[in-house]
Structures are given as C-alpha cells and as structure tokens.
Amino acid sequence: MSKSIPVLIPSEIHSIVDKQYTQVHQLLGKRLALMFGYLIAQSAQSAVFSAFFRKNLLELGENPDLLEVEEDELLVILFGSKIATEGGKIPDELYEALTQRYSQEQVILLVSFATQLVAATMFNATLEVQVEASLQPYVLPEAFRTELCLV
C-alpha cells in the first residue's frame, strides 16, 4: 500500500523550510544559500529538495555537479552537510571557525534551516512524497554526489 499523500500537505511542510530559506538567503546571499541547501539536501538524500536546489543553481548559471567554492563558502557548506550526515555532531574546529565568522544568532539560523530541511526530508521519505513533475528533470541517481572545488 502506498503512503503517498496529496501535494497540499507537503506544501505546508515545505513552507516552513521556505521561510527559513528566505532568512538564510538574506544572510548568505543567493549563491551560497543555494549551495548550502543543495549540499544539505544531497547529504540527507532528499530527492525533492536536491532537485529544487539543483534547478535553482542551474538557473543561476552554476554547475551543481562541480561547485567552485571559496574557503569561507566551504566552511558553511561543510557545516550544513555535517548536520545532515552526522546527526548534528559538528567537529569542534568546524564549529569554532564558523563562530569566528558568524554571530550566535546567525549560527542558530543556519542550524535551524539545516535541521528543518533534514526533518522535511524525513517527512517526505516517511510518506513517500514524490518529486513534483516540474522538478523531475533535475533528479539525479541516488549514488550521485556533487564535487566541491576550492578556488
């Protein structure tokens, strides 16, 4: 028996993530906010959110398969990825480097967005929410992982 649910319910869940994303976008800028979300989504193995962020990165002119990042961007991206893959266990040196660059309130915003994105991913997986038709062209095989290139 399929657990798939109407698109309206996930839209309500996704609106919570959207509100946080708006604040993250204001903090990090569009490019870094999209990369942050994309790597969290990939790390959490979210087809829905990976496709969304991939589409937006492509529209921005970025190559989501090989993201060129600067050292300060890498810090933020790795932070988000670790939240998704390590259950929130962030290496001390990574956390310290992040708090050198961002205020406590800003770090809380980044953590809040990352954890809500991971929670929404679990919600989608539990109820077998399918990727919307408009995002299907942006879905990648599960084994695919973006490469980061430090510039």
**Per-residue tens of pLDDT for the chain, all 151 residues:** 455 555 544 566 667 777 888 999 999 999 999 999 999 999 998 888 999 999 999 999 999 988 999 999 999 999 999 999 998 899 999 999 999 999 999 999 999 999 999 998 898 888 888 888 888 889 887 656 677 676 6
Q: Which residues contact residue 34 at a Cβ distance below 8 angstroms, ignoring those fewer than 6 apart?
A: 53, 56, 57, 60, 62
What's residue 1's pLDDT? 46
Q: Which two tokens stand for residue 143?
A: 């084994």
CA 38, 86, 3, 146 torsion-angle sign: positive
Q: CA 94, 34, 45: angle at the middle one, nearest 5?
A: 75
Secondary structure class of 150 (helix, strand, coil): strand
What distance in Å separates the CA atoms of residue 45 and residue 71, rounded to the nearest whole number?
24
What's residue 11's pLDDT? 61
DSSP 57-121: HHHTT--TTEEEE-HHHHHHHHHHHHHHHTTT---HHHHHHHHHHS-HHHHHHHHHHHHHHHHHH
Q: Which DSSP letter does residue 51 get?
A: H
What's residue 81's pLDDT? 93
